[in-house]
Each structure stands twice: as C-alpha cells, then as structure tokens.
Amino acid sequence: MRLKGRAAVVTGAASGIGKAIALRLAAEGAFVVVADLTETPREGGTGTVEAIRAAGGAAVFRSCDVTRADDLAAAVAAAAEPTGRLDVMVNNAAIGTDTPLHETSEADWDRVMAVNAKGVFLGCREAVRRMLGQDPLGEVRGRIVNISSQHGMIRAPNDFAYGVGKAAVVYMTRQIAGDYAADGIVCNAVAPGKVLTGKTGRAVDPEMLAYSRARTPWPRLGRPEDVANAVLFLASDEASYITGENLMVDGGWMAN
C-alpha cells in the first residue's frame, strides 16, 4: 500500500498500458481518476474502473480529451475531491499515424502533436498548478510521470509524427524537473520498448514483431505490467532523489 491515501490521474487509462498503470496504482492504495475518451478497453475485457472496484480499490472515470485544457482541469479536480490533493499525474495518452514523413498529412501531424505533445504539456501544467498550492508530504508536493518511448530518442520506423511527439515528452520531463525541483515537484518519464497490449493491426504485424524481437535482447517482448511497475516506483516515496530521468523499460532495446 505504497500509495495509500494518495490521489492520481492517469490519462489514456481505459486500455493497454494506461489501464495497467491505473490498476497498479489502485492496488497500492491510490484513488485513481481514469481519464480517457471512452471507458471501453480497445483490447476488450473489463473496464478499468470496474476492475479496480472489483479488486477493492477506488476509482472514477472522467471523460477527457487531453487536447482540451478544461478536460484535464476537471480530471485533476476530480482527483483532488477526496483529500484536496493531487499526488500523482501520469500523462500516458498517445496516438500515432503509422506513416513516414512523406506520407504524413498536415492534419495527421497536427492531430498527433495535439495529443502526444500538447496533451502532455497541458497535463503537466495542470498538475504543477495544483501541486504548487498544496503542502509537501515529506519533501515532495507531487509527482509527475510521463510516458515517453525509446522512439523519443531514436527513429520510429514509419511513424514520424509519433517519434517527434515522444521526443517532446522527453524534453518536457527534464525541463519541468529542473524548473520545479525547488518547489518539491518531481517529474520523471518511463520509456517503454515494444509492449504487447492486445492491440491489433500494425502493432502485431509479423514484420513489425520480427523487427521488435530483433531489437530486444530480452527473450520476450514487454507487457503492460512491466511499465506499470516502473510507474509505481517513480510515483512512490521509494523513488527519492530521482527527478528528470527517462527510465527505459525496454528489455535492453536501447542497449542493443
């Protein structure tokens, strides 16, 4: 129960990695706001809030388009209702286009930047505004965990806009960490490698899976729980004196 009595927002928490993060934080005692466009998991199965409550945890759903500042403000306000605090903000929502540069339309570029870059900016901004006004617990007023990617540091094959957006997440994480450390606000990122979430389509195309397996030294690809465990660590008091880091959860991808 490392997060007992704490409140968290997880964006994009209806499905995949976001769902696993929300479940993990709730299992450790956090009250979790599941912020997403829909409650329906892309991979099917039980909804996130229903699963958390069935396991004895506390969660609510808030419809949230991360490109809209008002939606993120409402999600943060919902998290703060029980205790007046936002302790953990996880900016996870992201999209891609599955296209190289020359096939990426201006509309698709704008859409990806709105979610992957602006959405993280708005989420971080709302979290910092709330955290600055609350008393520290120990040394920390609040913790932000952004979900980046190895493709924020190296190329994202045939997904140009996605990679650029994730690079922005890596930069924002470091700047926020430096700018607000003196205020007791911690900001880190988790960079997943190839994670199998149950998505269909290009994500599990045999050619893409072969590429990911060739790049990953570990003898399996990632699971959403691998990322969730890393987020939990960075969201907990165990991660002391760590800020501005981009933690790789990639099975050795970036070492290969």
Q: What is the DSSP string of 1-19?
A: -TTTT-EEEEETTTSHHHH
Residues 6+ apart with CB under 8 A from 252: 216, 217, 218
Characterize the bridge pairing of strands 185-192 and 246-249.
Answer: parallel
Tokens (6 digits) for 175: 């700047």
How far is the C-alpha of 17 from the C-alpha of 148, rounded, in Å? 12
> Domain of 149: which CATH number?
3.40.50.720
Against a cut of 0.85, is the pTM above it? yes
DSSP-based three-state secondary structure for 93: coil
94 is a domain residue: yes
Asked if 151 contacts 163 with a C-beta cutoff of 8 angstroms, the reply is: yes
63 is a domain residue: yes
* Structural domain count of the chain: 1
206 is a domain residue: yes
What averages of pLDDT result for each successive group of 10 residues across the chain (256 residues)? 97 97 98 97 94 98 98 98 97 96 97 98 98 97 98 93 98 98 98 88 81 94 97 97 98 95
DSSP-based three-state secondary structure for 34: strand
78 is a domain residue: yes
Active site residues: 162
State residue 200's pLDDT score.
Answer: 66
State residue 208's pLDDT score.
Answer: 85
2 is a domain residue: no
237 is a domain residue: yes
How far is the C-alpha of 18 from the C-alpha of 123, rounded, in Å? 15
Enter the DSSP assignment of 200: -
How far is the C-alpha of 166 from the C-alpha of 215, rounded, in Å? 19
State residue 198's pLDDT score.
Answer: 79
103 is a domain residue: yes
58 is a domain residue: yes
Q: Which residue range forms the structural domain that includes residue 12?
A: 7-255
